[in-house]
Amino acid sequence: MTEPVRADLSGKTCLVTGASAGIGKATAAELARLGARVVMAVRDAEKGERARREILGATGRADVELAIVDLASQASIRAFAAEAARRFPSLDVLVNNAGVWINRKAKGPDGIELTWATNVLGYHLATELLLPLLRRAPRARIVNVASQLAGGLELDDVEYERRPYDGQAAYAQSKQADRMLTWGLARRLASSAVTANALHPGFVATEIFGKGGGFVGMAASVYSKMRARKAADGADTVVYLAASPDVEGRSGLFWMDRQEKRCRFRDEAQEEALAALCRSMAPA
């Protein structure tokens, strides 16, 4: 059994997206246990409040807060970031975790394919708009929840306008992009006190698969109930990267089970092309 992360996050502010359930909720709970002021960024206020109260009861802490944001909506992300700038003098940890898996093509509020809008542009825009707060912290960490299920990124067709849409392929493309955005971000922040890392949490029993619908979503949901890790186990490496002194100053790395792993998606030219595409689709 893995030992719990040991760290003192007293006085630190940690923001976790997609924190009403699954890995995000488990991450928020553990960061609260370590003493942080935790901001749970959620889309559904009622569900988020239930999760917040559960965390309060489990940890005995009072400084666990909600922030309402739809990571598929750029207007919502902008309002969320503006509110964060008013509420917090600085931000010590940003965990980009919110994501979707859908098996029937849909568009988000901005008319952008929903998986790409949420899983990629949501990470990109939230990070860019929150960077001033992160830079104000003595040392800050960005943790991007990616996946081993990654690949198939085509920068000239990220919304599946040319290719037939497939939910698993769209999800895998988005998770490749999340890794590549992390490497580019780490490179850009190399001279600062802000680090950026990505991780695979393992296959976790989470709502994301069941909500996808279709045969693949149902099969993943059944598998998750039978064989998957619990959310707290999936959150372990997230919390490790967000809080552990062991990774202080380490950046631009891909992690699994608290171990650095090789990532095959490393190409500086492609990373810069992806960043440019994200800036054009979701300008900060």
The string of pLDDT tens digits covering residues 74-119 is 999 999 999 999 999 999 999 999 999 999 999 999 999 999 999 9
Residue 211: pLDDT above 60?
no
Residue 38: pLDDT above 70?
yes
Domains (range + CATH), the chain: 13-281 (3.40.50.720)
For every residue of 171-213, DSSP letters joined together read HHHHHHHHHHHHHHHHHHTTTSSEEEEEEE--SB--HHHHTT-
Residue 218: pLDDT above 60?
no
Look at residue 65 in the predicted model and tell me its pLDDT. 97
Residue 223: pLDDT above 80?
no
pTM of the complete model beyond 0.75: yes
Q: Mean per-residue pLDDT for 244-264?
A: 98
pLDDT tens profile 145-200 = 999 999 999 999 999 999 999 999 999 999 999 999 999 999 999 999 999 999 99
Look at residue 203 in the predicted model and tell me its pLDDT. 82
CA distances from 219 to 119, 200, 233 (A): 21, 20, 21
Return the higher-pLDDT residue of 110 and 204. Answer: 110
- Which residues are registered as beta bridge partners of 259? 256
- Which residues are registered as beta bridge partners of 94? 15, 142
Mean pLDDT value across the chain = 93
Which residues are annotated as catalytic?
171
